[in-house]
Structure 1
Amino acid sequence: MNSLIVNNPRLPRLSTLPRRRQGRAGLVAAGLIALVVMLPIATVIAVALASSGDDWPHLLQYVLPKALSTTFILLLMVGIGTSIVGVATAWFVVAYDFPLRRFMSWALVLPLAVPPYLAAYAHAEFFHFVGPVQGAIRDLFGFTRPSDYWFPDIRSTWGAALVLTSVTYPYVYLTTRVVFLMQGRNIADVARTLGAGSSRVFWRVLLPVARPAIAAGVALVLMETLNDFGAVQHLGVNTLTFAVYSTWLNRGSLEGAAQIALVMLVFVIFMIVMEQGARHRQRFHSARATQIKSRPPRHRLGGWGSAGAILATGLPLAFGFGVPLYIFIDYASKRLHQFAEPRLAEAFLTTVVTSSATAFLAVGAAMALIFSLRMRRSRWTLAITRVATAGYAMPGTILALGLLLSLARFDNALDGFLRAQVGISSGLLLSGTAFAVVLGCAIRFLALAEGAVQSGLAKLPPNIDEAARSLGKTATGSALTVLLPLARPAIATAAILVFVDTAKELSATILLRPFGFNTLATHVYENASRGAVEEGAVAALMIVLTAMVPVILLSGRLMQDKDA
């Protein structure tokens, strides 16, 4: 039957001229998207290298040494912390049976709903002198003054590491948990038949096999740590991200900020190489592992063992989700009148409009990339697609800086041209506008949208669009009438993910927003900056509840697995 269709002269051949033209059009579209994504990064590099160099002596002497060392120490502490917490919690819920195990297996993902800056605000209040922890210590021992006892300062590098670890460990937990489940009975049983005990099986067999998954999860954690701005600023930790912001706005030096951003790119490239290498090795181990349906037997714990397992899995959940939720609910319950305040309503509306526009733009660009790759699968198209999705690996501060410089140059060039030719001034059309915020977030989260849509299309038969074209449909027609309707669930998932991440985004929004432009994230940030975290509690609670949507969807998938 297939040979009759292919050889039938009455049917259009798949290699006809219109398809080649559509393939070239898709390649051009993908190239334009990649150009827009790489423009901010290229601008930062160009500005940093083309500057006069007057800022380098000051940066090398006063800024970079402390910022580099602090960033390295923070990355090291967060990397080690998330590795320990993520692997330990994954092992407990996979290898042992204890009370609340089913609840913990999906609830451990909930800290992903709390942005790092909100976690920093909440932990700073929770461990403050007048907070519940130190208040309980004073009541218990009768202390009255801070000098009566010693308590560690949360506003420090270790405090930032604690906060960031508490909300990013799920990246390691998820990747490691999947690998532990996929090892099945065989690999552990073979080791046991050779005389290995449970602990030896874990340390000598399962942990080395899961190493690529752990490395991939840690790489994502380190990228999120390097991107963070709100948490480190609130806790007084001078990282490279904070140094970019301070050099730009406090010293008024765009060139100096670009030079610091160039140093950050070195960290980013290293982590990308690390993550890609881990993914490559992970595919090898996953391919050799037994199917997920053959799960390792769980050892039932009792007594002190159960208590220890509950404590080991409950503490990360309490720090990453329980503390922020407690603080913001406590503050918000005393400020319910804020729900009717015009300022908060305006911030909520701005968040919804901005996030919706970003989701529309990012998902549209992701679909253009995917369809161009399906119409013309070549090395060039594949390379362009990878370049176009590189924005997610770039910290929001770098993207914001590069995008603002790019748009400002465009606005100035257009204004100069119109002044010379027509005698009118166009002013700033793009830079310092809401469009800049939407474009910056779309560039940053394009990879997220592309991955979600691509995963949905991967479940469809590979030749379904080829079959439509063999019946006379053009490549565009088959995409619109066949692929698009079938991919609606994946498209909706991608839009939700981009919407939520845009609503949480702070580092790019705070630098690109125009005057008077406030989202829920910047509303909370402004209150925290003037020492009034409690005044932004309602907005913070709204962000957490919004961010819980994709987390609940992910938790639902975990709960579908009855033995997970």
Structure 2
Amino acid sequence: MHIIGLLAVLIALPLFGILAAWFGLDAAGIDNLRQQMQTVLPGYLATSGWLALMVPLGVVLVGGAAAVTVSLFEFRGRRWLSWALLLPMAMPAYVSAYAYTDFLQYAGAVQSTLRGWFPGWRMDVRGLPGAVCMFVFTLYPYAYLLARNALSERGMHLMEAARMLGTPLSERIRRVALPLARPALAAGAALALMETLADYGVSAYFGLTTFTTGIYKAWVVLDDRIGAAQYASLLLLFVSVLLWLERREQGRMRFAATRGARGSEGAEARLPHLSGAQTLAAWAVCGLPVLLGFVLPVAILLQLWAGQWGSGDAAMPAFDLARYAGWVWNSFRFGGMAALAAIVLALGLCFALRGAHLPRLQGLVLRLTARLAGMGYAIPGSVIAVGILLPVAWLQALWPAAGLGVLLTASSLGVIYAYLVRFTAVAVQSVESGYTRIPASLDEAARTLGSSRAVIAWRLHMPLLWRSLAVAALMVFVDVVKELPATLLLRPFDTDTLAVIAHNLARDERLGEAALPALSIVLVGLAPVLLVMRALDGRRRADLQSALPPA
């Protein structure tokens, strides 16, 4: 009980630290806030507001159109495209921004050709429209995956029923498919919006004034802790509302996806077959997001890396290779430590929640802890970092001899703590999913035989949970490797990860040197994408087998 309570306090500490900043406002702080409202705050609100409006709209349009196309129609290449549409999940938006900035620069081949065709042509990708495109084509898989699952569960069956009633195809899509996918699209848009608000790399590289860049600037550049906490609290409030809306839509989505006899649905439903110009249109709807969100950025980064390697100063010296190995080691070290700690915490929490006949207070604390752990993933890394640093600064001022600031900022402890607050939710979700497949009767039988809870956890649960634990560790590891704002604020001195060094090199316009760490991040990000593809393929095979008549 005491350990669970301590865990709850540690997970909630960054949130309480941010909110507590408002209680320490004095006259100078109020005057500073008034000046911010007259100067920088309107810009933060405007830019973040436009991103909050345009990115979800684009994600819904791109992801929804792709989901409807691959779920409700049959055409050549459909199965390949249905998996390829997930590839942009491996591409962080800030990596895509680095690639397109080089590809679409003013002196590049693309703009030079366009100026030849259209005199006076000028386009700058580093702006709000460019940032919206980066987010849309890297985040649309959220909406695509959820909408595809919703349509695959009942969409084909209901579309077939509407066809048999004589409803035209356009009406079937408008009145059956889209309402069925609407909760899933709303949930996907909410997830994409939270990722957009949490981003620092694209906004900083494109020079946009968002809340995340404002937090970083207030803390690091202006040394304004209270201002950073105020920005973080406003962003936290907005994200909390989005999280509530997303959970409500997830509940509606589960209701909408209630299954009937899946075998009969799969056996009776037949997808309309597309041919000719319709096939080309389907390829355009599904192929362009893959091309713009993954294929083209990877090709640009490979070209940049090859050019850097083959240029006159480029045969990469051993010193550069040694530095690259150091960046890889730091990324893998942070990712491995955070993944191990996250699965241990998730396993302990889920095992405690599984206990039977918990006292009311203990059960309440456990559920509250699980809810706080689940909320961490939706909170931007910059908010968590400020929530950690602010209480530490207060404690350091009260007890200078304790050395808490040095302990958290001059070692890996602070950044690992931030990773745990943010990504423990990923591990908890995976371990909970694994526990749902272990009948409670097994625990009862083991207790009847005299086994203690520790023996049950180690000898019964662990062999059955190893797949879930491996998936949880992989997901946390990949998220840590890609995380940028929390790492920038909390990493120890002279300790750079792949994400940090890619950002720093791109910020200095050394895109050729940034290509290799950026490609490494993409390569690591492919692991969970391949895992999702395999899981979907396994479920599809199971559905096909259930649709076959008994022998």
Instruction: Using structure 1 for the length normalisation, give the TM-score.
Output: 0.89
CA contact (8 A) 2:56 2:189 kept: yes
Residue in structure 2 matched with residue 3 of structure 1 by the alignment: none
**Partner-residue secondary structure (3-state), 1:441:** helix
Q: How far apart, CA to CA, are the structure 1 residues paired with 2:394 and 2:263? A: 53
CA contact (8 A) 1:408 1:431 kept: no
Q: Kindly report the root-mean-square deviation, in angstroms, between the aligned alpha carbons of the 2 structures.
A: 2.0
- Deviations along 1:278-326, whole A, 9 cap, x unmatched? 1111121122555377244221111111111111111111111012201
CA contact (8 A) 1:123 1:324 kept: yes
Residue in structure 2 matched with residue 522 of structure 1 by the alignment: 500
Corresponding residue to 1:97 among 68, 74, 80: 74
CA contact (8 A) 1:440 1:508 kept: yes
Q: How far apart, CA to CA, are the structure 2 residues paired with 1:483 and 1:338? A: 49
Residue in structure 1 matched with residue 547 of structure 2 by the alignment: none
Q: How far apart, CA to CA, are the structure 2 residues paired with 1:173 and 1:191? A: 23
Q: 1:346 and 2:326 equivalent?
A: yes
Q: How far apart, CA to CA, are the structure 2 residues paired with 1:99 and 1:431? A: 55
Q: Any residues of structure 2 matched to 1:248-267 within 5 Å, and which?
A: 248-267=219-238
CA contact (8 A) 2:415 2:490 kept: yes
Judged with a 3 Å threshold, the aligned counterparts in structure 2 of structure 1 residues 189 and 230 are, in CA distance, closer, same or farther, namely: same
- The Cα of 1:108 is off from its aligned counterpart by 0.4
Corresponding residue to 1:371 among 329, 335, 351: 351
- The Cα of 1:174 is off from its aligned counterpart by 0.4
Q: 1:29 and 2:3 equivalent?
A: yes
- Deviations along 1:263-289, whole A, 9 cap, x unmatched? 112211110111110111112112255
Corresponding residue to 2:288 among 310, 315, 324: 315
- The Cα of 1:339 is off from its aligned counterpart by 8.5
Q: How far apart, CA to CA, are the structure 2 residues paired with 1:371 and 1:131? A: 57
**Partner-residue secondary structure (3-state), 2:123:** coil
Q: How far apart, CA to CA, are the structure 1 residues paired with 2:114 and 2:317? A: 35
Corresponding residue to 1:134 among 111, 114, 125: 111
Judged with a 3 Å threshold, the aligned counterparts in structure 2 of structure 1 residues 292 and 415 are, in CA distance, closer, same or farther, namely: farther
- The Cα of 1:329 is off from its aligned counterpart by 0.6
Q: How far apart, CA to CA, are the structure 1 residues paired with 2:354 and 2:67? A: 37
Corresponding residue to 1:68 among 38, 41, 45: 45
Judged with a 3 Å threshold, the aligned counterparts in structure 2 of structure 1 residues 180 and 426 are, in CA distance, closer, same or farther, namely: closer
- The Cα of 1:240 is off from its aligned counterpart by 1.1
**Partner-residue secondary structure (3-state), 1:299:** coil
Unaligned runs of 5+ in 1: 1-24, 419-424
Corresponding residue to 2:439 among 456, 461, 464: 461
Residue in structure 1 matched with residue 247 of structure 2 by the alignment: 276
Residue in structure 1 matched with residue 380 of structure 2 by the alignment: 395
Q: 1:191 and 2:162 equivalent?
A: yes
- The Cα of 1:85 is off from its aligned counterpart by 0.6
Q: How far apart, CA to CA, are the structure 1 residues paired with 2:376 and 2:156? A: 40
Paired AA for residue 209 in structure 1: L
Unaligned runs of 5+ in 2: 310-314, 545-551
Q: How far apart, CA to CA, are the structure 1 residues paired with 2:195 and 2:405? A: 36
Residue in structure 1 matched with residue 64 of structure 2 by the alignment: 87
Corresponding residue to 1:49 among 23, 37, 59: 23
Corresponding residue to 1:497 among 475, 478, 481: 475
Q: How far apart, CA to CA, are the structure 2 residues paired with 1:227 and 1:334? A: 32
Deviates more, 1:293-302 or 1:41-50: 293-302
Q: 1:327 and 2:304 equivalent?
A: no
Judged with a 3 Å threshold, the aligned counterparts in structure 2 of structure 1 residues 338 and 400 are, in CA distance, closer, same or farther, namely: farther
Q: How far apart, CA to CA, are the structure 2 residues paired with 1:77 and 1:162? A: 9
- The Cα of 1:176 is off from its aligned counterpart by 0.2
Deviates more, 1:530-539 or 1:372-381: 372-381
- The Cα of 1:258 is off from its aligned counterpart by 0.6
Q: 1:302 and 2:275 equivalent?
A: yes
CA contact (8 A) 1:184 1:292 kept: no
Paired AA for residue 121 in structure 1: Y
CA contact (8 A) 2:338 2:420 kept: yes
May I ask how many residue pairs the two structures share in their alignment?
525
Residue in structure 1 matched with residue 548 of structure 2 by the alignment: none
Residue in structure 2 matched with residue 14 of structure 1 by the alignment: none
- Deviations along 1:197-254, whole A, 9 cap, x unmatched? 1211111122112211111111111110000000111112211111111222222201
Judged with a 3 Å threshold, the aligned counterparts in structure 2 of structure 1 residues 261 and 287 are, in CA distance, closer, same or farther, namely: same
CA contact (8 A) 1:160 1:235 kept: yes
Corresponding residue to 2:199 among 220, 228, 253: 228
Q: How far apart, CA to CA, are the structure 2 residues paired with 1:231 and 1:91? A: 30
- The Cα of 1:403 is off from its aligned counterpart by 0.9
CA contact (8 A) 2:155 2:180 kept: no
- The Cα of 1:539 is off from its aligned counterpart by 0.9
CA contact (8 A) 2:99 2:300 kept: yes
Q: How far apart, CA to CA, are the structure 1 residues paired with 2:449 and 2:534? A: 40
- Deviations along 1:356-413, whole A, 9 cap, x unmatched? 0010111111111101101255344223211222211111110011112233444555
- The Cα of 1:534 is off from its aligned counterpart by 1.6
Judged with a 3 Å threshold, the aligned counterparts in structure 2 of structure 1 residues 149 and 116 are, in CA distance, closer, same or farther, namely: same
Deviates more, 1:402-411 or 1:439-448: 402-411
Residue in structure 2 matched with residue 556 of structure 1 by the alignment: 534
- Deviations along 1:165-220, whole A, 9 cap, x unmatched? 00000000000000100015442233233331121111112211221111111111
CA contact (8 A) 2:68 2:177 kept: no
Q: How far apart, CA to CA, are the structure 2 residues paired with 1:38 and 1:523? A: 30
CA contact (8 A) 2:393 2:405 kept: no
**Partner-residue secondary structure (3-state), 1:300:** coil
Judged with a 3 Å threshold, the aligned counterparts in structure 2 of structure 1 residues 463 and 130 are, in CA distance, closer, same or farther, namely: farther
Q: How far apart, CA to CA, are the structure 1 residues paired with 2:104 and 2:233? A: 36
- The Cα of 1:88 is off from its aligned counterpart by 0.4
Q: Any residues of structure 2 matched to 1:115-154 within 5 Å, and which?
A: 115-138=92-115, 141=117, 148-154=119-125
- The Cα of 1:442 is off from its aligned counterpart by 1.5
Q: How far apart, CA to CA, are the structure 1 residues paired with 2:193 and 2:244? A: 13
Residue in structure 2 matched with residue 6 of structure 1 by the alignment: none
Judged with a 3 Å threshold, the aligned counterparts in structure 2 of structure 1 residues 379 and 426 are, in CA distance, closer, same or farther, namely: closer
Q: How far apart, CA to CA, are the structure 2 residues paired with 1:269 and 1:289? A: 34
CA contact (8 A) 1:432 1:514 kept: yes
Q: How far apart, CA to CA, are the structure 2 residues paired with 1:290 and 1:88? A: 27
Deviates more, 1:182-191 or 1:201-210: 182-191
Paired AA for residue 317 in structure 1: V
- Deviations along 1:435-479, whole A, 9 cap, x unmatched? 111111111100001111111221222322222111101112201
Deviates more, 1:552-561 or 1:73-82: 552-561
- The Cα of 1:97 is off from its aligned counterpart by 1.7
Q: Percent identity?
A: 35
Judged with a 3 Å threshold, the aligned counterparts in structure 2 of structure 1 residues 426 and 387 are, in CA distance, closer, same or farther, namely: closer
Residue in structure 1 matched with residue 341 of structure 2 by the alignment: 361
Q: How far apart, CA to CA, are the structure 1 residues paired with 2:160 and 2:75? A: 22
- The Cα of 1:131 is off from its aligned counterpart by 3.0
- The Cα of 1:155 is off from its aligned counterpart by 1.2
Judged with a 3 Å threshold, the aligned counterparts in structure 2 of structure 1 residues 68 and 49 are, in CA distance, closer, same or farther, namely: farther
Q: How far apart, CA to CA, are the structure 1 residues paired with 2:136 and 2:436? A: 33
Instruction: Using structure 2 for the length normalisation, give the TM-score.
Output: 0.91
CA contact (8 A) 2:407 2:413 kept: no
Deviates more, 1:337-346 or 1:244-253: 337-346
Q: Any residues of structure 2 matched to 1:169-188 within 5 Å, and which?
A: 169-188=140-159
